[in-house]
Each structure stands twice: as structure tokens, then as C-alpha cells.
Amino acid sequence: MQWAVVYNMVKRTLYIILLLISTLSYSQNNSESDVFKKIIDHEIGKGGRGMYIQCEKSKTYFDVKDFKVGTGLNVPENVLNEIELNESKSSIGVWNAELLNELNYGEDFIKRKKCLTKNDAEQLFKRTKKRQKVISISEPIFDNNYENCVVSVSYLKFTGSAYGKKYFLKKVYGIWTVIVEYEIWMI
């Protein structure tokens, strides 16, 4: 009789642990999607029109000292350290193509509801022989509580011509909010 009680307690405990792990995994995945959508909304809100979206997400790099110098923000040190530590987990990946279908913008804003590969972008430049806006969004790096993140954005304009920046976002009342753009670059 005692073994049955212990067995049921262990079974319940394992179930709770699995539930917590799956919830955390969903929260992380949902946060990435929300940040992706927020960046697209932000870029379109700044007058971004006629852009293509690249599927591949690059690795994000973060350095606390560069952040402090580049932004002047007074972000708690533990949050910055968590982001810097989590940067080592950042990797190259691919955005879920279904995210484009969730964006409610016409072709004036987003040219295709299908994301481009790097090869597709190169072919687009060769085929049109015109400057284009191909946006590439890196993998977001979060703090441990998924309340702050850093993400890099690059625009490919033509073969060998690009510009980009990093964003620092904070979750405010459950909504990702762009706090600052920094480390702006151009080639």
C-alpha cells in the first residue's frame, strides 16, 4: 500500500515538472515570435515599405560595456549580465515562415508572404538590378526572466550594401517595447 502512495506522488511530481518545462519552452518560443513581430511593426511604423523578410536568423552578439557606452541607459547590472551570459547560447537559425502570415500588412509594406533565403535575396538583386529592402532579424537574446532582450537587425540593400543596428527591448505590461536603437552601422 505504501509503494502505491509513493508511486503516485512521484508520478504527480514528474507530471508537474514536465508541465513546467513545456510551459517555459512555450514562453521562450512565444517571446521570440513576439519580438520578431514587434521589430517588423517598429520598422514599418518608421516608414518601412516594400520590404522582403529573410528567413535565416543570425547569431546575436552582446557586450555589457559596449551597451552601456552606446546607450547610456541605466539597466540593472544583473539583467545585462544575464543577457551577456545568454549570448553564448545564441545561434544561427531559421524563423518560422508562418510568422509572416500572422503579420497584417499588404504588399505595399511586405512584398511577399514567404520569407527569402540568402540565395533568394541574391537572385532578387540579380534579377531586378535594383536596390531592395531585405530585412534580416537575428535571434533575440533574453534575460533569464524573458523581460528584456537584445536583437540585431540588418537591411540588405544590394550585393555589398547593407546597414543595421541593435535594439534593446523591454516587456512593459506584457508587451514588448523598443527602448533604444544602438550600434548603428553601414557598409
H-only helix segments in 72-172: 77-87, 98-102, 118-128
CA gap 5, 1 in Å, rounded: 7
C-alpha cell of residue 38 = 514587434
- Entry pTM: 0.79
CA gap 125, 82 in Å, rounded: 39
Instruction: List the chain pLDDT tens, one digit each, 187 residues.
Output: 576 655 555 555 544 443 344 334 434 458 999 998 898 888 887 777 788 889 898 999 999 999 999 999 999 999 999 999 999 888 888 888 788 778 777 777 788 778 899 899 999 989 998 888 999 999 999 999 999 999 999 998 888 889 999 999 999 999 999 999 999 999 8
CB neighbourhood size of 87 (10 A): 17
173 conformational bin, left if phi > 0, alpha if psi -120 to 50, beta if neither? left
